[in-house]
A and B are shown apart, each in its own frame.
Chain A
Amino acid sequence: NAGVTQTPKFQVLKTGQSMTLQCAQDMNHEYMSWYRQDPGMGLRLIHYSVGAGITDQGEVPNGYNVSRSTTEDFPLRLLSAAPSQTSVYFCASSRDGYGYTFGSGTRLTVV
């Protein structure tokens, strides 16, 4: 049972490039979320989903897109990377909406 798998673990992008952070879970969880972690700010919600085909914005959605075509996958797309998007990104999933399992994170640097 792999849990929540995030790829890649590390990524360096140039300003203006686009990329997709992958997140997959094998627990058949309906709820999935993306967070970014910045020093002194805790984790801030970017986007979330309560089931396949349903997504909504969180606290800091600008510059990011998501889709949820399957229960298992919830990719996060950076449309045009900016230095302000340098962060550690975490994907999380939950069966019931309140006990979340987190992935190990993607450390993104935008230069």
Chain B
Amino acid sequence: GNSVTQMEGPVTLSEEAFLTINCTYTATGYPSLFWYVQYPGEGLQLLLKATKADDKGSNKGFEATYRKETTSFHLEKGSVQVSDSAVYFCALSDQGSNDYKLSFGAGTTVTVRA
């Protein structure tokens, strides 16, 4: 079956620090990969996505590259801000198997201090 394993948190950083959150996956078909972000008290928002190997998704200074050889989709940001404090979820959807369900990692809580 499909599964997502994500770096455990919580992660605490100072402003302008480099952030990386590791994500690896297992899938039976050809998954699309996603990062979602959840700000306190809110629902999930799509942060970025990649649909095939070597694609790079990017948004709001965050980037992640779909690495099929290492089955990974690590999230990075070069200089975080206090407003980046949130819970980040890695997820996959395996349309190649006609499976349109999202499978989520456990989430990583990130706190950025001024």
What per-residue 1/0 map shows which CB atoms of A80-111 lie under 8 Å from chain B?
00000000001010100111111111000000
Look across to chain B and name the residue whose beta carbon is closest to the beta carbon of A98: B93
Contact B100 A41, beta carbon cutoff 8 Å: no
**A99: contacting residue among B4, B46, B103, B105, CB under 8 A:** B46
Which residues of B from 38 to 84 have beta carbons under 8 Å from A?
A: 42-46, 49, 51
Interface size class of B (residues with CB under 8 A): 20 to 34
B44 proximity list for chain A (CB < 8 A): 43, 90, 92, 102
CB-defined A-B contacts under 8 Å, sample of 13: A40-B106, A41-B106, A42-B4, A42-B89, A45-B103, A50-B100, A92-B44, A92-B102, A94-B100, A97-B100, A98-B102, A104-B42, A105-B43
Contact B104 A43, beta carbon cutoff 8 Å: yes
Q: Is the interface of A mostly helix, strand, loop or mixed?
A: strand
Look across to chain A and name the residue whose beta carbon is closest to the beta carbon of B32: A98
B103 proximity list for chain A (CB < 8 A): 45
Contact B102 A33, beta carbon cutoff 8 Å: yes
Using a CB–CB cutoff of 8 Å, the interface residues on chain B facing chain A are 4, 6, 32, 34, 36, 42-46, 49, 51, 89, 93, 95, 100-107
Most buried by A among B36, B89, B102: B102
Contact B95 A98, beta carbon cutoff 8 Å: yes
Using a CB–CB cutoff of 8 Å, the interface residues on chain A facing chain B are 4, 31, 33, 35, 40-45, 48, 50, 58, 90, 92, 94, 97-105
Contact B102 A100, beta carbon cutoff 8 Å: yes
B42 proximity list for chain A (CB < 8 A): 104-105
